[in-house]
Amino acid sequence: MNFTLKTILYGILVWLVPFIIAIPFYSPEGTLLVDEHFFKTIMILAGGVIGAVLLIRLFLQISDHYVRKGWMIGGIWLFINWFLDLGILLPLNGMDIPTYFGQIGLRYLMIPIMSLMAGYIAENTAKKPK
């Protein structure tokens, strides 16, 4: 599969897996059934784990330009997560955009931070003599 297509599909998974994990934490009426802080912790951990696993899978296919590709992956995943949240999550919970970015959206900045970090680690590792 093409690297860019795989990056896009993985970006959708980075959003979709935590979304699916969140479903049992809500009643059919949309009420959160557990403590809000516990729920947010679960969501951050779920997103972090799936993101890390998929970053590893993508970086195993990269043989050069690690930092640039880290930026690319992070930017694509950030856009996908914001786009899907704005199109699906906000209509479901009725949150306005400023509240969304204050409570959820800014947290997604960890995506490009982590993918860029992976790129720097890979770049520095590749430059080391064997």
The count of other CB atoms within 10 Å of the CB of residue 17 is 17
Q: Contact at 8 Å (CB) between 104 and 85?
A: yes
Q: At what angle do helices 36-59 and 110-127 cross, to 10 degrees?
A: 30
Per-residue pLDDT at 4: 94
pLDDT at 6 over 80: yes
Give the model confidence (pLDDT) of 29-87 as tens digits. 989 999 999 999 999 999 999 999 999 999 999 999 999 999 999 999 999 999 999 99
Phi, psi of 42 (to 5 degrees): -60, -45
pLDDT tens, residue by residue, 44-53: 999 999 999 9
> By the 8 A CB rule, do 25 and 32 touch?
yes
Cα 45 to Cα 26: distance, rounded to the nearest angstrom? 18
pTM of the model: 0.92
The beta-strand segments (E) located in 78-126 are none
